[in-house]
Structure 1
Amino acid sequence: MISLLCITIISLTMAGSGYCQMATPSSPKLVKTELGGNVTLPCKLESEDSFFFGSLKVTWTKVAEDESQNEDVLVSIGLHKRTYGNFENRAFLVNLEGGDTSLVLTEVSMEDMGRYRCEVIDGMEDIIQDVILEVENGLTEGVVFPYSPHRGRYNLNFDDAVQTCASQDAVIASFDQLLEAWKDGLDWCNAGWLSDGTVQYPITKPRQPCGGANSNPGIRKYGSKNKQTSRFDVFCYASKLKGHFYWLVQPDRLSYDEAVQACRDDNAEIAKVGHIYAAWKLEAYDRCDAGWLADGSVRYPISRPRKNCSPTEAAVRFVAFPDKKVKSYGVYCFKADQ
């Protein structure tokens, strides 16, 4: 385990004598973040002029109750940096050359919660800063949903998957978000990309086409795949709406182009798939009318199962990607907060 070294300074006025100066941890700072997001843990030298960049040593450690079990996160010595264990490729320093040794963690999980220690040695100003990280379950403010494009299932490489979620006012979901959605009852037999580059799918009701009827419920894992050549669906994560999702009352059924224009005429936009899932899951939106959405699909949200309207489960029901010229559907609109 790597710890801060004791600095011995030889006094110029008292030749041959010396003393050892050890920095002590300052009062811990509290940082809160949501599950699956990115977070910055603050740690910065007081003066940018007090250090020589090539000699700077920075150590970030996750502190355990028994400090003999501390976990190394990141060590940086001059131009050389190394991350460890579960933090590999997820931990970065903000601006080392500018004296900002704050730690950025990406794709935060519940396991990341805890106390972190920043130790900095530059030969003149040595500091120890503790930061306590609290992680809040982002699913209280969002919803995970599976998505495949109009051209059919298993047509997205990883980059396509990221962009597809963004186009639906969502982000690609993390494993922790998918896990929490599975605990909440999400069951989906098509494999989809997650933000860490793995391909997985959640099963609450084991059955033959989905890993076998005698298998246990859980997250089925395909593991890491080639991000450019492998093609799957994607799991997206939509946050709480910052606006109003609604069914636009119209006297006639509309084509897709007419639906887009109708929302514009109402000073709104045609709703996206992320909007309908967020309204359904987080606002209990319920309507048994099939309506156009921005991606050209037709769907409707049911939070109260009943005959002829998703009789067995609450769900966003998918109808089809119909010919955009047909006039068989209404439209769902979204009006953003001003």
Structure 2
Amino acid sequence: MLLRLTTITCTLLFLSPPAAAYPADSEKGRRKVVHVMEDDTGAVIVQTAPGKVVTHRGGTITLPCRFHHEPEDVDPRRIRIKWTKVSDAFQFEDVFVALGRQQKVFGSYRGRVSLEQAGPGDASVIIHNITLQDYGRYECEVTNDMEDDTGFVNLDLEGVVFPYYPASGRYKLNYRQAEEACREQDAILASHTQLHKAWLEGLDWCNAGWLEDGSVQYPISHPRDQCGRKDSPPGVRNYGYRHKDDECYDAFCFTSNLNGRVYFLKRFKKVNYLEAVKACQRDDAVIAKVGQLYAAWKFQLLDRCEAGWVEDGSIRYPIVNPRTRCGGPVPGVRNLGFPDKKFHLYGVYCFRRNPERPDVKPTRAPQETSYNLTNNTRSI
């Protein structure tokens, strides 16, 4: 029998309010086109969230996915639901699979992922205790005995992008070293989308850095001759995909909300690095990482015009309300470099983790909240 292929446009109506999409994705975010076989073979139709869903590290989020059948008398015990994370390099990571009442969660998602089960045709999953690594694109696949269909959901995190280089100097990190450097500072390598968003909000940095997809880029808000010519337009400069082992650059890291608090430890005297580490420990805390200081500046509005040690041996301080005596006219985290750990004396920024608490109730596709990442210029 000849099957006729018809295109049906399915508009998602169950999300309120809708999550925002980037301008380039706005047309794709409004609707999803699926193909239905017009006979009795049991086609399955999948609907997912337009645009993206937004949460923060440590939060709980529902990745929406619904399905129905034509005809609708399919045995639910024969429906297979599978969720997969898809990277920019088209690598696939299994997240969750269910067949009837049988369910399995994979890898780092174990103990954190479950079906929402909000009624017939609901293939949505809930992810608890969101991590930085959960950021990305997810595929929802629903299969019956005859047909299958898929939909995609983009999971975004509220966060902040920051440039990073180690004590050894500029352009010293290959790709793997850049990954590790961000991880050591409580962050991950930023995506192109995250860097582009930070640039739209004012990030200006003249040194090229690795991104998560293996490309090397840098954001320029104020063109100048030393950063690719003064007469070139503002934008995110892109060196393309570079050799991950042989070429060295800086890194652009991304971090999100903290499960704790960063604070400047009040002391009567300044200390060297080792004394700073011990001072935080005596205060039932640890010395803050660079990513934690950026997160505190962004989300806790930490504003302190006092230079202090952080975990990587650099001296930094966060400024929310700029003033002349505190490093210039723009907000940001000031970086005074990497002084001698033994002989230079400063204050210290500590981090104290919050006590463990139960997860909050899951939320459904919260409206995206833009953050005002201000112009983060060269170190002062």
TM, length-normalised to structure 1: 0.71
Question: Residue in 2 aligned with 1:185?
Answer: 202
Task: Tell me which amino acid in the other structure corresponds to 1:328.
Answer: L
Q: Is the 8 A contact 2:182 2:253 kept in 1?
A: yes
| CA distances 1:48-73 after superposition (whole Å, capped 9, x unpaired) | 7x99xxxxxx999xxxxxxxxxxxx9
Supply the AA of the counterpart residue of 1:304. Answer: N
The aligned counterpart of 1:294 is 311
Cα distance, 1:209 vs. partner? 1.1
Bigger drift between 324-333 and 23-32 goes to 23-32
Task: Return the alpha-carbon distance in structure 1 between the equivalents of residues 185 and 88 of structure 2.
Answer: 30
Q: CA offsets per residue over residues 219-262 of structure 1, 9 Å max, x none?
A: 00000000011100000001011101100011111010100000
Cα deviation for residue 34 of structure 1 reads 4.1
Q: Structure 1 pair 36/22, CA: closer, same or farther in 2 (3 Å)? A: farther
Task: Decide whether aligned partners of structure 1 residues 47 and 330 sit closer, same or farther in structure 2, where only a CA change above 3 A counts.
Answer: same
The alpha-carbon deviation at position 89 of structure 1 amounts to 1.2
Matched position secondary structure for 1:176: helix
Aligned residue for 1:283? Answer: 300
Specify the code of the residue in structure 2 equivalent to 1:89. Answer: F
8 Å Cα contact 2:260/2:351 also seen in 1: yes
State which of 323, 326, 337 in structure 1 corresponds to 2:343: 326
Structure 1 residues 305 and 4: alpha-carbon distance in aligned structure 2, compared to 1, 3 A threshold: same
Other-structure match for 2:245? 228
Match among 100, 111, 126 for residue 146 of structure 2: 126
Q: How many angstroms apart in 2 are the aligned matches of 1:134 and 1:96?
A: 19
**Mean CA deviation greater in 253-262 or 311-320:** 311-320
Secondary structure, counterpart of 1:21 in structure 2: coil
Residue 145 of structure 1, aligned match among 137, 155, 162: 162
For 1:164, give the aligned amino acid: A
Q: What is the identity percentage for the equivalent residue pairs of Structure 1 and Structure 2? A: 39
Taking the aligned partners of 1:25 and 1:298, their CA distance within structure 2 comes to 57
| 2-structure distance, mates of 1:236, 1:256 | 24
* Number of aligned residues: 285
Q: Give me the whole-angstrom Cα distance separating, in 2, the residues matched to 1:263 and 1:95.
A: 41
Q: Is the 8 A contact 1:36 1:173 kept in 2?
A: no
Closer, same or farther: CA 161–35 of 1 in aligned 2, 3 Å: farther
User: Which residue, 152, 175, 182 being the options, matches 2:192?
Assistant: 175
Further displaced range: 178-187 or 91-100: 91-100
Q: Does 1:242 align with 2:259?
A: yes
Give the Cα separation in 1 of the matches to 2:124 and 2:242.
29
Describe how 1:205-220 pairs up with structure 2 within 5 A: 205-220=222-237
**Correspondences of 1:110-125 after superposition (within 5 Å):** 118=141, 120=143, 125=145
State the alpha-carbon separation in 2 of the partners of residues 264 and 95 from structure 1: 40
2:326 alignment partner in structure 1:
309
Q: SS at 1:230's partner residue?
A: coil
Structure 1 unaligned residues grouped into runs of 5+: 7-19, 52-57, 61-72, 74-82
Local SS of the residue matching 2:196: helix
The two structures have a TM-score, normalised by structure 2, of: 0.64
For residues 89 and 338 of structure 2, what CA distance do their matches in structure 1 show?
41
Contact 2:206 2:220 in 1 (8 A): yes
- How far apart are the structure 1 equivalents of 2:98 and 2:40? 25
Q: Which residue of 2 aligns with 1:270?
A: 287
Cα distance in 2 for partners of 1:180, 1:3 equals 34
Q: Structure 1 residues 173 and 337, CA, compared in 2 at 3 Å: closer, same or farther? A: same
Deviation at 1:263, TM superposition (A): 0.2
What's 1:54 paired with? Answer: none
Aligned partners of 2:326, 2:256: CA distance in 1, in Å? 25
Counterpart of 2:251 in 1: which secondary structure?
strand
State how far apart, in whole Å, the 2-side matches of 1:149 and 1:218 are.
Answer: 25
Partner residue in 1 for 2:364 = none
Deviation at 1:91, TM superposition (A): 4.6
Q: CA 1:36–1:213 in structure 2 vs 1: closer, same or farther (change >3 Å)?
A: farther
Distance 1:261 1:310 in 2: 28
Deviation digits for residues 28-58 of structure 1, max 9, x if unmatched? 4659644999x9786999557x99xxxxxx9
Q: Which has the larger radius of gyration?
A: 1
Task: Kindly state the Cα deviation for residue 153 of structure 1 after the two structures are TM-superposed.
Answer: 0.4
Contact persistence 1:302–1:309 (CA under 8 A): yes
